[in-house]
Chains A and B, each alone.
Chain A
Amino acid sequence: DQQVKQNSPSLSVQEGRISILNCDYTNSMFDYFLWYKKYPAEGPTFLISISSIKDKNEDGRFTVFLNKSAKHLSLHIVPSQPGDSAVYFCAARADAGNMLTFGGGTRLMVKP
């Protein structure tokens, strides 16, 4: 069941540049999307989210874009910092109180 897919298992970016992490979904019932960051041996840490009624949400260096017609969302990190190196998961939810469906994650490496 691949309802949420992150097609790039890894991404390497130079410090100060933009990191763009992509996520595609198939379930049109998803109405809320989240991005999580995960370090080894830790739980996922919430980064930013977006409701399906919006196409953009921004929080500091992090911006999430949602293209509903393409069933695609992306996370932009600018400028990227070495401390951003982690695995990033996108997740989606179909309605209030329900489970999150996670993508497979993208490992971001930000090089100094």
Chain B
Amino acid sequence: EPEVTQTPSHQVTQMGQEVILRCVPISNHLYFYWYRQILGQKVEFLVSFYNNEISEKSEIFDDQFSVERPDGSNFTLKIRSTKLEDSAMYFCASRGQNYGYTFGSGTRLTVV
């Protein structure tokens, strides 16, 4: 069964550093998403991406965040200057023309 692949599985970074979280969506999917889950809290929407541009973003997705699909296969989330409160599980998801959203296994980001 096709999978959404995320790397790394765990990233530890110092506060103020930049991190890039990587995702390989399912190859024929058209819609791409980033979500995050802070420990003990809900899964929260960050951003959706379609046709090489952001289609929707939440209040969480401020100027410190950016997304890119640099080569037609990878889908990346960059956090420019990490804060302690950015520590969370970050999930990438993709969706085809139907309504089936497929999530990756997540990247645990720990900001110290």
Interface residues of A in 60-99 (CB under 8 A from B): 89, 91, 93, 97-99
- One of B14-22, B66-74, B78-86, B100-108 at the interface: B100-108
Chain A, interface size category, equals 20 to 34
Number of A-B contacts (CB under 8 A): 57
Closest to A39 in B: B105
Give Cα A45–Cα B105 distance, bound, in whole angstroms: 9
The answer on a CB contact under 8 Å between A97 and B91 is no
Among all A-B residue pairs, the 8 with the closest Cβ atoms: A43-B103, A99-B45, A102-B43, A43-B105, A44-B103, A43-B106, A104-B42, A43-B91
List chain B positions with a Cβ less than 8 A from chain A. Answer: 4, 6, 31, 33, 35, 41-45, 48, 50, 55-56, 58, 91, 93, 95, 99-106, 108
List chain A positions with a Cβ less than 8 A from chain B. Answer: 32, 34, 36, 41-46, 49, 89, 91, 93, 97-105
With contacts A98-B48, A99-B45 known, what are 17 further pairs, Cβ within 8 A? A32-B99, A41-B105, A42-B105, A42-B106, A43-B93, A43-B105, A46-B102, A46-B103, A49-B99, A89-B43, A93-B99, A97-B95, A100-B33, A100-B45, A104-B41, A104-B42, A105-B42
